[in-house]
A = this chain, B = another copy of it.
Amino acid sequence: MAKRSVDRFRDAALASEIEFLLARARAVGIIHANEAFVALGLKARSYSVLSLAASGLNPTQRELADFLSLDASQIVAIVDELEQAGFVVRQPAPNDRRTNVIVATDSGLAKHREAQAAAEKAEGESMNALSASEQDALRELLTKIAF
Interface residues of A (CB under 8 A from B): 1-2, 5-6, 8-10, 12-30, 33, 44, 48, 51-52, 55, 57, 59, 62-63, 66-69, 116, 119, 122-123, 126-127, 129-130, 134-135, 137-139, 141-147
Contact = CB atoms under 8 A, between A and B. Distances in A.
A29 B22 contact: yes
Contact of A6 (B25, B62, B66, B123): B66
A5 B67 contact: yes
A25 B66 contact: no
Contacts of A62: 2, 5
Contacts of A138: 18, 138, 141-142
Contacts of A19: 26, 29-30, 33, 44, 119, 122-123, 126
Contact of A12 (B57, B129, B139): B57
Contact of A146 (B13, B28, B144): B28
